[in-house]
Chain A
Amino acid sequence: MSFNRVLDQKIPKKILSGAISKNLLASSYLFYGELGTGKWIMALELAKAINCEKNRGEACDVCSSCRKIDKFIHPDVTMIFPIPSAKSDRNKKGEEDLSEDGETISAQSGKLQDKGQKEFEKYHTLKKEEPYTIVRFDRKVNIAVEQIRMMQRDIFSRPFEGKRKVVIMAEAEHMHVSSANSLLKTLEEPPEYATLILTTNDINKLLPTVVSRCQQIRFGRISQDQIEEKLKSDYAVEREEASHFAHLSNGSYGKALDFAQGEKQDIRREALGLLNLAAEGRTNRIIQWVDQLLSQWDWNSILEMLEFADAILRDIYMILEGSDHLINPDMKPEVVKLGEKFKRQNRVEEAFRTIEQIRSDCQVRNASLKLALLNMCFRVKELANG
């Protein structure tokens, strides 16, 4: 298994195996690249390779160290990932646990275990089953300062049974500003026996001071052939479908899996429905539809739907350009029809921008989803009927 478990990513593989074999392992890594390209699983494999008892530069998957890491029970491999910030837990304050660390810290860690337990388990089960799974929570997530502090207390004690301590932090872009800042010193000069691996989907959201302290390794898109193959072999997806999903996923196996599991297809259909409806422009039906949507879907799915709508608009744009490079080739007839409505490219672009704006409003500024959606539909309606 070892690094072979990671799809494609020849360059990261070569850098990391080279680093291990030449004893050039850096103390902090930052794996960055799009969602579902295998950063996390690579981090896990790296942790295994570093600690493997056989010492071959790659994980053997049979020694006790490798197996423990695979089961997430290795005492020297710490995992950090964003969890939903639970407001209701604030008044619990955590049980008093007066150990030698002093009461504040253990109170905090107690509180953290409390609130994180369920999410922690969910994350681990999903990732154990299929490391490429994109784990989503129904609320906004972040990595709290307490999580970093816990890790920091732990990292300064020598490895318990492995060779090195490894910290894997998933989706580091969800670190709170104060979390990121409190990580800086550790990140720059961790103890000699420790390696920190940060993974992120969006390197731009990280503090430049964090980025600069790590060796940055980029994860590119996975080739469509490999996605297709893996879908067929692991999930017995039909050939035609597999190829379709691979195309839609745009190089992310995680996204391809989402499609294979079906629900994403509905969301994509709904995105097309939304554009059609808005372009048709019957106000009462739009309002009805928005209400229905809000009652059935959660926040994440709706934002995803907007992403799909963006992709469709891009296709409309290309059709108007006369190009045939489509993201959604299966929707071509509908796309062409919508293209006739919009007529002009600048209108499509405007619609695209509107949706982008709405998306960021909802994500960053906490806008009301309902009002935002309605606003967007009416704007698209105007544009489609010029």
Chain B
Amino acid sequence: MTYLVMARKYRPSTFDEVVGQTHVTTTLKNAIQTNRISHAYLFAGPRGTGKTTVARILAKALNCKEGPTPQPCNRCDSCREIAIGRSLDVMEIDGASNNSVDDIRTLRENIRYVPSQSKYKVYIIDEVHMLSDSAFNALLKTLEEPPAHAIFVFATTEPHKLPQTVLSRCQRFDFRRIPTTDLVKTISDIAEKENLEVEKEATYILARRADGSLRDLLSLLDQVIAYGSESEPVEGGKKTISSVLLTETLGLVNLDKLFEITDVIGEKNAAKGILILNQLMDSGIDLPEFVNSLLQHLRDLLIAKVSGDSNELFDLSDVYLQKYREKSKAFTEIDILRMIKMVADLNMNLKRASDPRVLLEMTLMKILKMESSVDLAELLNRLDQLKGCSSAGMLGSGNISSGNPTKPKIPSLSPEKPVMGKQSVDVQEETSAPSDTPAIQDSYIKTEVISLEDIQKRWNEVLGEVKNNKLSLWSLIKDGEVIGLEDDTLTIEFHNGNSFHKKQAERRENLNLIQKALGDLFTQPLKLKFELNQLKGSSPDESGNTKSNGGAGPTQIAEDPLVKSIFDNFEGEIIR
């Protein structure tokens, strides 16, 4: 005897057996009871949620010997014929294979004849989204006013592919993804029938993997049962399905490994991260699967962080719940969100990548390098505190930045740089405008004051540094001349004809490069000002100024207390 896969064996045969679609089954039952049966139904929803199943039950219910009944007997000839697909009056049509207008024309010719034995002629068209345009259109008139004995049931995973004219002629039922709790319950029901012992942890893994589809769940079970061979311990004749067995069969990633990964991220240990990845890969995990579980893992971390004491959002056993609560403390919500974003992007790109492993490695590296983020409001708060602090000595770089002071390889631009990834560069830029909040400004100038001669002497070195970094920039500024130093603003002069050079040098990334070169040689942070030797007084911020002039928007924004506070502290300007 051939084996019937569980997905077919346990296909529900009454409305009450259908899992997780009560909104559909109740409606249909009531419709049958009150004799308000529509002539065209559309069942839409994701795979494995019961569309075809309900369509068949409906057919049985309508044609059952005991009259249209919400509880088909499953014993009469009609019910049995429908179950094995031999009924003359229930046509189950594969819409994808019979999708041409000719197929529909044949259907239209046959639909006129009264049913041979039953009350209704039921046409179930599965995968109906694959019908061709002309097929749909050929069907329209029949669909709107079919003979009294005809019922159409369409089933599809992609209702958006159906023309509006078809949609409006059908009563539509949307099948939902089956909730995890329902799946868990189904597993225990089936385990009983199949004489299986399923560990609680394994139940959750299975339910989660099935992703709302009953069919997926059952084929997973089939697979695991086939894998768990005779050598498995047998207790009282029951086969045991353990989480270990599952992990092995499905190439899943152990939760503990995922915790290891997040630990590594917390420690910023790149070498160890690569090592763990390599180990995982050699142990034969499925990469996309791994990325998915990592995403899920991060999601759980986040939920653990924000959920407080409620357990509702978790489909996890309590053992791990505690662990998630514990581990989530190492990250801030924003950090977890950023990680989720990166991993989600990775998940998208993975599908197109030639070598998913490389992408995974790079993403992990990026996450490891990610600076922990600081809330802007909090940063301002800290600044306020600093302002209150009179002693300049306490204002080392570490105080302003958060836990992780500097990026590993790139030397920091200047000592006072607050570390916030890209944002910090912007902040640095804003401070290059002349200042009128001496409290902070003074505190920054804690290094020895250097003279113009010092700089002029070592200017060539600065140029050399710039040349190493960006040749094009070097060729632009090598003609410039250092002419003045006022406070901490260094003035560089270009010949009148070289306005292009000046403009280019004033670009933000170029300014940063020069400042970085200066920062390597002088401890004192310097601001830069470029001039043409005849036209005086064009400052680097000029372009910024002109831009900010237009529109009423900026003034409104400037009223915002947070923005105001940024202005006061950072010398900010609204650029856009």
A residues contacting B by CB (< 8 A) are 11, 14-16, 18-19, 22-27, 149, 152, 164, 178, 181-186, 188-189, 192-193, 202-205, 208-209, 212-218, 220-221, 250, 306-307, 310-311, 313-314, 317-318, 321-323, 325, 327, 345, 349, 352, 356, 359-360, 364, 385-386
**A24 near B219: Cβ-Cβ < 8 Å:** no
Contact of B46 among A24, A193, A208 (CB under 8 A): A208
**A204 near B357: Cβ-Cβ < 8 Å:** no
**B351 near A184: Cβ-Cβ < 8 Å:** no
Give the contacts of B235-271 with A (CB-CB under 8 A): 248-251, 270-271
Contact of A204 among B127, B351, B355, B366 (CB under 8 A): B351
Contact of A24 among B129, B226, B366 (CB under 8 A): B226
**A24 near B358: Cβ-Cβ < 8 Å:** no
User: Which of B280-288, B299-307, B396-404 has 4 or more CB atoms under 8 Å from chain A?
Assistant: B280-288
Measured CB to CB, the closest approach of chain B to A344, in angstroms, equals: 8
Q: Does B47 contact A (CB under 8 A)?
A: yes
Measured CB to CB, the closest approach of chain A to B201, in angstroms, equals: 20
A-B pairs, top 4 by smallest CB distance, nearest first, are: A181-B96, A220-B284, A19-B226, A185-B94
Given contacts A11-B251, A345-B365, A356-B349, list 11 more A-B pairs with CB under 8 A. Answer: A11-B248, A24-B222, A27-B8, A164-B2, A178-B99, A184-B96, A186-B94, A202-B351, A208-B46, A314-B362, A323-B274
**A356 near B362: Cβ-Cβ < 8 Å:** no
Measured CB to CB, the closest approach of chain A to B295, in angstroms, equals: 15
Contact of B94 among A27, A184, A323, A352 (CB under 8 A): A184
User: Which residues from chain A contact B47 at a C-beta distance below 8 Å?
Assistant: 208-209, 212-213
Interface of A is mostly: helix
**A359 to B358 CA separation, bound complex (whole angstroms):** 15
Give the contacts of B194-226 with A (CB-CB under 8 A): 213, 215-216, 219, 222-223, 225-226
Q: Does B394 contact A (CB under 8 A)?
A: no
Give the contacts of B13-45 with A (CB-CB under 8 A): none
28 sampled A-B residue pairs with Cβ under 8 A? A11-B227, A15-B227, A18-B226, A19-B226, A26-B3, A26-B219, A26-B226, A27-B8, A181-B130, A183-B96, A189-B8, A189-B85, A208-B46, A212-B216, A213-B215, A214-B219, A215-B223, A218-B251, A220-B285, A221-B282, A221-B284, A311-B358, A313-B358, A317-B365, A323-B271, A323-B274, A325-B274, A360-B352
The contact string, 1 if C-beta is below 8 Å from chain A, for chain B 106-146, is: 00000000000000000000110110000000000000000
**A318 to B157 CA separation, bound complex (whole angstroms):** 44
**A193 to B1 CA separation, bound complex (whole angstroms):** 10
**Which residue of chain B is the closest to A179 with respect to CB atoms?**
B96
Measured CB to CB, the closest approach of chain A to B510, in angstroms, equals: 12
Bin the interface of chain B by size.
Answer: 35 or more
**B355 near A314: Cβ-Cβ < 8 Å:** yes
Given contacts A11-B251, A192-B2, A310-B358, contact A212 B226 (CB under 8 A): no
**A182 to B4 CA separation, bound complex (whole angstroms):** 22
Give the contacts of B461-502 with A (CB-CB under 8 A): 469-471
Measured CB to CB, the closest approach of chain B to A105, in angstroms, equals: 12
**B96 near A385: Cβ-Cβ < 8 Å:** no
Q: Does B322 contact A (CB under 8 A)?
A: no
Measured CB to CB, the closest approach of chain B to A13, in angstroms, equals: 10
**A349 near B362: Cβ-Cβ < 8 Å:** yes
Given contacts A215-B219, A356-B352, contact A14 B227 (CB under 8 A): yes
Measured CB to CB, the closest approach of chain A to B384, in angstroms, equals: 34
**A214 to B223 CA separation, bound complex (whole angstroms):** 10
Of B248, B249, B358, B365, the most chain A CB neighbours within 10 A belong to B358
User: Which residues from chain A contact B288 at a C-beta distance below 8 Å?
Assistant: 203-204
User: Which residues from chain B contact A216 at a C-beta distance below 8 Å?
Assistant: 219, 223
Q: Does B452 contact A (CB under 8 A)?
A: no
Give the contacts of B56-86 with A (CB-CB under 8 A): 85
**A209 to B365 CA separation, bound complex (whole angstroms):** 35
**B130 near A178: Cβ-Cβ < 8 Å:** yes
**Which residue of chain A is the closest to B132 with respect to CB atoms?**
A178
User: Which residues from chain B contact A192 at a C-beta distance below 8 Å?
Assistant: 2, 4
B residues contacting A by CB (< 8 A) are 1-5, 8, 46-48, 52, 85, 94, 96-97, 99, 126-127, 129-130, 157, 213, 215-216, 219, 222-223, 225-229, 248-251, 270-271, 274, 278, 281-282, 284-286, 288, 349-355, 357-358, 361-362, 365-366, 469-471
Measured CB to CB, the closest approach of chain B to A15, in angstroms, equals: 4
Contact of A359 among B52, B354, B362 (CB under 8 A): B354
User: Which residues from chain A contact B225 at a C-beta distance below 8 Å?
Assistant: 22, 24
**A244 to B238 CA separation, bound complex (whole angstroms):** 48
**Which residue of chain B is the closest to A180 with respect to CB atoms?**
B96
User: Which residues from chain B contact A352 at a C-beta distance below 8 Å?
Assistant: 358, 362
**Which residue of chain A is the closest to B289 with respect to CB atoms?**
A218
**A15 to B249 CA separation, bound complex (whole angstroms):** 8
**A184 near B126: Cβ-Cβ < 8 Å:** yes
**B251 near A220: Cβ-Cβ < 8 Å:** yes
**A188 to B2 CA separation, bound complex (whole angstroms):** 15
Contact of B215 among A23, A186, A212 (CB under 8 A): A212
**A185 near B355: Cβ-Cβ < 8 Å:** no
User: Which residues from chain B contact A152 at a C-beta distance below 8 Å?
Assistant: 97
**A215 to B130 CA separation, bound complex (whole angstroms):** 24
Measured CB to CB, the closest approach of chain A to B475, in angstroms, equals: 13
User: Which residues from chain B contact A203 at a C-beta distance below 8 Å?
Assistant: 288
Of A149, A205, A310, the most chain B CB neighbours within 10 A belong to A310
Measured CB to CB, the closest approach of chain B to A193, in angstroms, equals: 7
**A209 near B358: Cβ-Cβ < 8 Å:** no
**A254 to B253 CA separation, bound complex (whole angstroms):** 26
**A15 near B223: Cβ-Cβ < 8 Å:** yes
**A152 to B96 CA separation, bound complex (whole angstroms):** 13
**A22 to B229 CA separation, bound complex (whole angstroms):** 9
**Which residue of chain A is the closest to B85 with respect to CB atoms?**
A189
User: Which residues from chain A contact B361 at a C-beta distance below 8 Å?
Assistant: 314, 317-318
Measured CB to CB, the closest approach of chain B to A368, in angstroms, equals: 19
User: Which residues from chain B contact A19 at a C-beta distance below 8 Å?
Assistant: 226
